[in-house]
A and B are shown apart, each in its own frame.
Chain A
Amino acid sequence: MAGDIIETIIELQDAWKIYKMGEVEVPALRGVTVEIKKGDFVAIMGASGSGKSTMMNLIGCLDLPSRGSIYLKSQDISKLSESDLASLRGKTIGFIFQQYNLIQSMSAFENVMLPLEFLEYDEKKAANRTREILKLVGLSDKMQYRPTQLSGGQQQRVSIARSLASDPEIVLADEPTGALDSVTGREVLDMLKSLWKEQGKTIIMVTHDLNLAKYAHTIIELKDGEILRISENHEVKDPVFKYGD
């Protein structure tokens, strides 16, 4: 894809998020403007309270800004109906959460298939896709296991498989290794890296850990709800994405 026109996939324009605590208004995000390019590996960094979770919620279309606009694939998300936004989110963004957020009453297979059911995939196609993805994350033998029967690392792999089920362009990972030991954490990061490198996914990772951020190509640092700096990690070079080179 070298030499392609680099397309913006998500854009925040003067995005504010203000929470009301009784009478007091607490701004969590103060006029953030940023463009995330298709095919980039972005780390959003910051201490707790810096507004990175808020930013992730806005990027993931889980929340709407109090002021300003967010464009997902050039569409203003505040102008979409709830149902259109849900479908767009389901198709375009895959979520990986720190606490995996798997549905406990469902097997690994059912958890991974869930997004496809909401997108009304054909039953057979959905089942095949689910098997394929679970194989990809190395869980073919544990498809019928419940989350409680799986280790943390395995659960996170189910969660990664779920995020990939609908073949989204963006994978949004919120502290993906936060609950894992360092070895398992590295495995998960390697998996994200290969998704970026081999499948050309846009990876957006929220973390407070500088060591993790090193995996990313673009690092956005937040402080007190504002962007402190955006830097490019030139150590991360890859044949697919040439942004900034």
Chain B
Amino acid sequence: MKLGKCFKHAFNMVLHSKLRSWLTITGIVIGVAAVIAIVSIGDGMQQSLNAQLNALGGDIVTISPGFERGGGFFQMRGGGDGGGSSGPQATTKEIVLGRSDVQALKGIPDIALIDTNIRGSVDVSYLGKKGRISITGVDQSVWSQITTSKIKTGRMLDSADQNVIVIGGRLASSYFDQPLGINKMTMINGSAFRVVGILDDQSNSIYMPIQMAYQVIPEKTNGIYDTLVVKIKDENFLDEVITKIQDKLMIARHVTQKNMDFSVSSRKEMQQARADTMSSMNTFLLAIAAVSLIVGSIGIANTMFTSVLEKTKEIGIMKAVGARNRDILLIFLFNAAFIGLVGGILGIILGTILSGFMPVLMGGLPLARGTAIVTLNSITMALSVSVTVGIIAGIIPAYQASKLKPVDALRYE
């Protein structure tokens, strides 16, 4: 029998056992829809991560004191007076970043800007309401060019600024009893500051000129920084510049690779780590979806076995009128593949609809922000997988059908 005819007969078989075929197809639909939804969410998250990475600036490098070893972050401190004999790391003072480090960085031509930061928690009061809020002191002459935060109302900090602050969106709108708007005065550790800008975010942070921050954060010493934020000239050379920074700072700080007392990290690296976490979460979800696809394929196999049993007499008739084993095998294989194909197509449609809702459902998860994207790739994959699954599930029943002896099949009631 010609292939086209085999397909026609297979198609008729599906049509004539509607309920059973549809139930089987449903199993595949669920599996494929789950795979499509998860893959598309994965792709969507990937894309939004990439977009974030670009928005955040792949050209920003952060230098902090201390060094991360084996996953833990150690803020190394000196061993006290007279500790010179206890090893090369032993120093007499706390490990900090200072002016000499900034000087060293200025010697690297690939660096465009250097921002010096300090952080601390301080008491802030506004119209009688008080709270402890984290503030960041920044070099106001470069901060506006380095920060990835966007201003919503007002302006960024300026070189001439003194007793002014830029605040996060939530702090402005809902932290205090009354909204804290532009030009309002607030008390920070006893000094008055005027709000000049509100950021377009949901944070409670406060940014102020670093010289003012030294005054309001009592434990900080002038000339000692918590972090140095560097903007490089060309982000394509990010890795090379990081190496240069490390080399330069190691020389300046008299340390080696072994006892390095600072760490250099880029937003890109952080995003990479996030992407890795996300990808392993995705793989896990995909594995669960694959299980449902396997269950669906077992459904196809079950249906095919039932179908062969039910059609035994017809197989006998077909063989009596000249059907070869190959013809019967193909008819049943096509039947299974057809169930897989229809399941695949409907699964893609359902999966696409589902993936539209997923970001809303997973909105609370920081990793799931962004939209789901159904790519041609995942459609092709889902279709070929569902058809293959159908064929694999149909092989044994179809083979069994093809091997029926005509005399036995005809006698079957």
Does A pair with B? yes
Evaluate contact between A63 and B317: CB separation under 8 angstroms: no
Given contacts A62-B407, A106-B12, contact A83 B324 (CB under 8 A): yes
- The answer on a CB contact under 8 Å between B322 and A89 is yes
* A117-B5, A118-B318 as given contacts; A63 in contact with B326, CB under 8 Å: no
**A25 located at the interface, meaning its Cβ lies under 8 Å from any Cβ of chain B in the complex:** no
* Contact between B322 and A87, CB atoms less than 8 A apart: yes
Q: Are A117 and B1 within 8 A (Cβ)?
A: yes
Is residue A90 contacting chain B, with contact meaning CB distance below 8 A? yes
User: Do B1 and A63 touch (CB < 8 A)?
Assistant: no
A204 CB, nearest partner CB in chain B, Å:
14
Q: Is B406 an interface residue (CB 8 A)?
A: yes
Q: Is the pair A60, B318 in contact by a Cβ cutoff of 8 Å? A: no
A57 touches B324 (CB 8 A): no
Interface positions of A from 61 to 85, Cβ below 8 Å from B: 62-63, 82-83
Q: Annotate A83-109 by CB proximity to B: 1 below 8 A, 0 otherwise.
A: 100110111000101000111011000
Query: CB < 8 Å: which of A82, A83, A90, A105 contacts B321?
Result: A90
* Nearest CB on B from A105, distance (A): 4
Docked-complex contact A83 and B410, CB < 8 angstroms: no
A86 near B1 with CB under 8 A, answer: no
Residues of B contacting A95 with CB < 8 Å?
A: 320-321
Kindly identify which residue among A63, A82, A91, A106 contacts B322, using a CB–CB cutoff of 8 Å. A91
Supposing A95-B321, A103-B317 touch, asked if A120 and B2 sit within 8 A by C-beta, the answer is: yes
Give chain A nearest CB distance to B172 CB in angstroms: 72
Give the residues in chain B near A86, CB-CB below 8 Å: 319, 322-325
Q: Determine the chain B residues whose CB is within 8 A of the CB of A97 once the complex forms.
A: 410
Q: Which residues of A contact B321 (CB under 8 A)?
A: 90, 95, 114-115, 118, 162
When distances are taken between beta carbons in the complex, the residues of chain A under 8 Å from B407 are 57, 62-63
Are the CB atoms of A82 and B324 closer together than 8 Å? Answer: yes
CA distance A57 to B405 in the complex (A): 11
- B322, A90: Cβ atoms closer than 8 Å: yes
CA distance A133 to B56 in the complex (A): 79
Q: What's the least CB distance linking A103 to chain B, in Å?
A: 5
A166 at the B interface (CB under 8 A): yes
Chain B window 6-37, contacts with chain A (Cβ cutoff 8 Å), 1 for yes, 0 for no: 00000011001000000000000000000000
Bound form: Cα–Cα A62–B408 in Å:
9
Chain A: CB-nearest residue to B413: A99
A118 and B325 contact, CB distance less than 8 A? no
Partner of A101, one of B1, B323, B410: B410
B321–chain A nearest beta-carbon distance, Å: 4
Q: In whole angstroms, how far apart are the Cα atoms of A207 and B90 in the complex?
A: 110
Given the complex, which residues of A lie within 8 Å of B320, measured CB to CB?
60, 62, 89, 95, 101
A162: chain B residues at CB < 8 Å are 321
Q: Is A119 an interface residue (CB 8 A)?
A: yes
Partner pick for A63 among B2, B314, B405, CB 8 A cutoff = B405
* Interface pair A166/B406, CB less than 8 Å apart: no
The reply to whether the CB of B110 lies closer than 8 angstroms to some CB of chain A is no
List chain B residues, Cβ under 8 A from A106.
12
In the assembled complex, the Cα of A91 lies from the Cα of B323 at a distance in Å of 11
Bound CA–CA A105/B320 (angstroms): 18
Known: A62-B407, A62-B410, A63-B405. A114 touches B318 (CB 8 A): yes
| In the complex, B369 has a CB within 8 A of chain A | no
Residue of B13, B316, B319, B326 ringed by the most chain A CB atoms within 10 A: B319
Alpha-carbon distance between A90 and B317 when the two chains are bound, in angstroms = 11
Q: Cβ of A83: which chain B residues have Cβ within 8 Å of it? A: 324-326
Q: Tell yes or no: B327 within 8 A of A by CB.
A: yes
In the bound assembly, the distance between CA atoms of A120 and B16 in angstroms comes to 24
Residue from A87, A103, A166 whose CB has the most chain B CB atoms within 10 Å? A103
Flag whether B267 is at the interface (Cβ < 8 A). Answer: no
Instruction: Find chain B residues with CB under 8 A from A117 CB.
Output: 1-2, 5
A117 to B324 Cα, complex, angstroms: 11
- Chain B residues in 8 Å Cβ range of A103: 314, 317-318
- Interface residues in B295-337 (C-beta closer than 8 Å to A): 313-314, 316-327
* Complex Cα spacing A97 to B321, Å: 12
Q: Which of B367-409 contact A (CB under 8 A)?
A: 405-407
Shortest Cβ distance from B12 into A: residue: A105
Q: Is the CB of B12 within 8 A of A101?
A: no
Q: Which of B5, B316, B326, B327 gathers most chain A CB within 10 Å? A: B5
| Interchain CA distance A43-B323 in the complex, whole Å | 27
Minimal beta-carbon separation of A87 from chain B (angstroms): 6
In the bound complex, residues from chain B placing their C-beta under 8 Å from that of A87 are: 322, 324
Pairwise interchain contact B322-A101, C-beta atoms closer than 8 A: no
Q: What are the residues of chain A within 8 A of B317 when measuring CB–CB?
A: 101-103
Tell me, in angstroms, the Cα distance from A83 to B330 when the chains sit together.
14
CA distance A90 to B13 in the complex (A): 22
Bound complex: CA of A97 vs CA of B406, how far in Å? 14
Residues of A within 8 A of B318 (CB): 103, 114, 118
Nearest chain B residue, comparing its CB with the CB of A165: B321
Give the shortest distance, in Å, between A196 (CB) and chain B (any CB). 21
Report how far A89 CA is from B327 CA in the complex, Å: 15
Once the chains are docked, how many angstroms separate the CA of A106 from the CA of B317?
13
Do residues A105 and B16 form an inter-chain contact, with CB atoms below 8 A?
Answer: yes
19 residue pairs of the A-B complex, CB under 8 angstroms, read A62-B320, A63-B405, A63-B407, A82-B325, A86-B319, A86-B323, A87-B322, A89-B320, A90-B321, A95-B320, A101-B317, A102-B317, A114-B318, A114-B321, A117-B1, A117-B5, A118-B1, A118-B323, A118-B324
Having A62-B407, A97-B410, one finds 18 other A-B pairs with CB under 8 Å, namely: A62-B319, A62-B320, A63-B405, A82-B324, A83-B325, A86-B319, A86-B322, A90-B323, A95-B321, A101-B320, A101-B410, A105-B12, A117-B2, A118-B1, A118-B321, A118-B323, A118-B327, A120-B1
Which residues on B are within 8 Å of A, measured CB to CB? 1-2, 5, 12-13, 16, 313-314, 316-327, 405-407, 410
Chain A residues in the interface with B (C-beta under 8 A): 57, 60, 62-63, 82-83, 86-87, 89-91, 95, 97, 101-103, 105-106, 114-115, 117-120, 162, 166
Across the A-B interface, give the 3 residue pairs with the lowest CB-CB distance, nearest first: A90-B322, A118-B322, A63-B407
